[in-house]
Amino acid sequence: MLIDRKMTAGLNAQIGREFSAAMQYVSMAAWFAAKGLGGFAEFFHKQAAEETEHGLKIVRYLGDVGGTVEIPEIARPRSDYATVEDALRHFVEMEEEVTRAIYALVELAQSEKDHSGNHFLQWYVEEQREEVTSARTLLEKAQRFGEERMLLLDGALGSD
């Protein structure tokens, strides 16, 4: 047993957050698609696939260190937004929340002297820095384009 109970519980909770983000982004992708914004929809489908992979990476890690995988219940994602800006604000908030959760896990790993867990989580620290930056950048772009010209930003996203 290379991992203690607290870290196992913390990492299982993180699997839940990653899968929950994945479902939220699938839901957002569907919302954008219904608005005729296929570029945004594709962006969020890719985002969802990444979040799923983040969760699976923890599942594999727990297997490697002898921790029990217990995937938590996933809450129903939000399915409606007033505006594109509203949806993107939710995207930023979610990534900021995941970042705070990762930091708390790093602190737990450090206090438990779980060096392997701490090392494993550093990948997520870097990943979250990129995610929060990209979410904020997308929100700022959407604010500058405005709802009336969102199709232009959508087209630019689709060609990425």
User: Could you list the residues that contact Mg ion (CB under 5 A)?
Assistant: 18, 51, 54
Q: Output the smallest distance, CB 58 to Mg ion, in A.
A: 10
Q: Output the smallest distance, CB 98 to Mg ion, in A.
A: 6
Q: Output the smallest distance, CB 118 to Mg ion, in A.
A: 18
Question: What stretch of H or E contains 24?
Answer: helix 5-34
Of the pair 43, 150, the CB lying nearest Mg ion is at: 43
Return the residue nearest Mg ion (CB atom). 54
DSSP string covering 81-139: -SSHHHHHHHHHHHHHHHHHHHHHHHHHHHHTT-HHHHHHHHHHHHHHHHHHHHHHHHH
Of the pair 87, 94, the CB lying nearest Mg ion is at: 94
Of the pair 31, 91, the CB lying nearest Mg ion is at: 91
Token representation of residue 38 = 């296929």
